[in-house]
Structure 1
Amino acid sequence: MDVKEFRNCMGKFATGVTVVTCKTENGSHGLTANSFTSVSLDPPLVLVSVDRKTKAFEHMKNNAFTVNILNASQEDVAMHFAGRPKEVAPFNWIQGEHAPRLKESLAYIECKPWQEYDGGDHVLFVGEVQNFVNNEGDALTYFAGKFGKLTNEVVKV
């Protein structure tokens, strides 16, 4: 199978953009992720898929984390945590009850570790939701290698 073409195919699935953050021995760490989903309402569980080759993988093991759902104006934040940092960080940290989070996110979901599963070259981290906030605004999206935005306006097709 052509891995690049498979990745391009998967890119046709439009997603929201998140930054997953956690506390480390040296402070706070984050990674941009669009492999995020709700798993269960009772108990409240969410899932994040993390590449085994990233620094974030080691930080996430048995660690509380926050999923920060980015608003439409946070493209620089997404790029910063995707490995293209700006000289001046385009975000501010806030220490949550369980894990650090990003100020001005569209929403955030604080989790304590629930379970980890083998996902091939990724690990699926399932977190039990401890706290969340849902703000108003437009969402940052990702489709076919490009950022966009999704609004609350109803679009008829």
Structure 2
Amino acid sequence: MAIDPQQLRTCLGHFATGVTVVTCAVGEELHGATVSAFTAVSLAPPLVLVSLNRDSKAARLLPGRPFTVNVLSEEQHDLALRFAGRPTSHGSTPLWQPAPGRHLAPALLGSLATFFCSPWACHDGGDHLLFLGRVESVDQRPDAQPLLFYRSTFHALNSVNA
């Protein structure tokens, strides 16, 4: 039985996730893409995974490059839209934090959690590519709340039950 892609997408939307922006540098140019498909893979070695549409600009830029996964806080809603290609008229300009090592990618200032990664592997995932990164350094901001993605909409933690 064939699954209708739109029905599958709608059903998957019932799984609430955090929102991340995956960033990388190409020369002096900084790039980012909003990604909700992010997960931990292994503690030893420390690995994380991001899934990117294989036709996206981010999927073309990421192979073999260090990348940073920025877990967004609820205050970074405008950045989630900006890096998803839907900037708002009142959106803020991203503020960048340098990487903790010269062979790592910069981060977005103010993120809830940050994973600085070196490239580990890339795997075929159908219409997506699965990028595994070895976590080289982390940073966290325990005083903030996460931005969530649920049923195709961004939410603050308190608004999910409302």
TM-score (norm 1): 0.91
Residues 114-157 of structure 1: per-residue CA shift (max 9 Å, x gap)? 01110001110000000001111100001001111226xxx9xx
Are 1:124 and 2:127 matched, yes or no?
Answer: no
Residue 148 of structure 2 is matched in structure 1 by: 141
Residue 79 of structure 1 is matched in structure 2 by: 81
Moved over 6 A (4+): none
TM-score (norm 2): 0.89
Residue 59 of structure 1 is matched in structure 2 by: 61
Count of aligned positions = 152
Residue 91 of structure 1 is matched in structure 2 by: 94
Give, in angstroms, the shift of residue 85 of structure 1: 2.5
Percent identity over the alignment is: 44
Q: What are structure 2's unaligned runs of at least 5 residues?
A: none
Residues 36-86 of structure 1: per-residue CA shift (max 9 Å, x gap)? 000000010000001111110111011100000000111100000001124
Q: Which amino acid in structure 1 is aligned with residue 85 of structure 2?
A: G
Query: 2: CA distance between counterparts of 1:8 and 1:47?
Result: 22
Query: 2: CA distance between counterparts of 1:69 and 1:90?
Result: 17
Residue 36 of structure 1 is matched in structure 2 by: 38
Residue 17 of structure 2 is matched in structure 1 by: 15
Q: Which amino acid in structure 1 is aligned with residue 61 of structure 2?
A: H
Q: What are structure 1's unaligned runs of at least 5 residues?
A: none
Query: 2: CA distance between counterparts of 1:130 and 1:17?
Result: 21
Residue 49 of structure 2 is matched in structure 1 by: 47
